[in-house]
Structure 1
Amino acid sequence: MNKDTNKSIEKTAMLICGAIFLVTMIGAFWHLSLFHMMDKGTFNWFDHMFEEPKMNFNGGLFNDFMTLVSTYGDVVTFVIMTVVVAVALLIKRYYLMGLWLLATVGLGGILGIIFKDLIHRARPYDHLLADTGFSFPSGHSLSSTLIVIILFTVFIPNIRNKAVKVIVTLLIFVLWISILFSRMYFHAHFLTDVVGGVSLGITWVMASILIFRACTPMLSKLPLLRKGKIFNVK
Structure 2
Amino acid sequence: MNRKKTYLITLAICLISFILLSIMVKKNFTCFIDHFGQILFQQTPHHTQHLFKRFDKIFSPETDLFYSFVISSCLLALSKAENQLNLGIYSVITISGTTLLAFIVNMIVKPLFGRIRPDGSKGFSYPSDHAMLAFALLISTAYILTLYINRTTPKLLIIISSVILTLFIGFSRVYLEKHFITDIIGGYLLSATILFSILYFANIYREKIN
The bucket for the TM-score relative to the shorter chain is: 0.7 to 0.9
Q: Percent identity?
A: 23
| Structure 1 portions without partners, runs of 5+ | 54-58, 221-229
Q: Verify: 1:168 aligned to 2:158, yes or no.
A: yes
Normalised TM-score (structure 2)? 0.84
Conserved? CA contact 2:94–2:140, under 8 Å:
no
Normalised TM-score (structure 1)? 0.76
1:18 counterpart residue number: 15
- Provide the rounded CA distance (Å) in 1 between the counterparts of 2:192 and 2:25: 19
| Structure 2 portions without partners, runs of 5+ | none
2:186 counterpart residue number: 196
- Provide the rounded CA distance (Å) in 2 between the counterparts of 1:216 and 1:162: 23
**CA offset digits 1:22-49 (Å, max 9, x no partner):** 0111122232x3x1221122223334x2
2:140 counterpart residue number: 150
Match of 2:111 among 114, 117, 122: 117
Aligned length: 202
- Provide the rounded CA distance (Å) in 2 between the counterparts of 1:163 and 1:102: 26
Point out the more displaced range, 157-166 or 199-208.
Answer: 157-166
Point out the more displaced range, 11-20 or 190-199.
Answer: 11-20
Q: Verify: 1:104 aligned to 2:106, yes or no.
A: no
Task: For 1:114, give the aligned amino acid.
Answer: I
1:139 counterpart residue number: 129
3-state DSSP of counterpart to 1:123: coil
Q: CA deviation at 1:9?
A: 2.9
Q: CA deviation at 1:161?
A: 2.5
Q: Verify: 1:37 aligned to 2:21, yes or no.
A: no
Point out the more displaced range, 36-45 or 21-30.
Answer: 36-45
1:76 counterpart residue number: 62
> Which structure has greater helix proportion?
2
RMSD between aligned residues:
2.3
1:224 counterpart residue number: none
1:225 counterpart residue number: none
1:226 counterpart residue number: none
- Provide the rounded CA distance (Å) in 2 between the counterparts of 1:42 and 1:133: 21
Task: For 1:123, give the aligned amino acid.
Answer: R
- Provide the rounded CA distance (Å) in 2 between the counterparts of 1:172 and 1:99: 19
Structure 1 runs (4+) deviating above 4 angstroms are none
Conserved? CA contact 2:52–2:172, under 8 Å:
yes
Conserved? CA contact 1:69–1:175, under 8 Å:
no
2:170 counterpart residue number: 180
Q: CA deviation at 1:69?
A: 2.0
Q: CA deviation at 1:15?
A: 1.5
Q: CA deviation at 1:100?
A: 4.8
- Provide the rounded CA distance (Å) in 2 between the counterparts of 1:154 and 1:46: 32
Task: For 1:15, give the aligned amino acid.
Answer: A
Conserved? CA contact 1:108–1:146, under 8 Å:
yes
- Bigger radius of gyration among the two: 1
**CA offset digits 1:156-194 (Å, max 9, x no partner):** 243123232222222222211111111111111001100
2:41 counterpart residue number: 46
3-state DSSP of counterpart to 2:159: helix
- Provide the rounded CA distance (Å) in 2 between the counterparts of 1:215 and 1:190: 38
- Provide the rounded CA distance (Å) in 2 between the counterparts of 1:114 and 1:22: 15
Task: For 2:99, give the aligned amino acid.
Answer: V
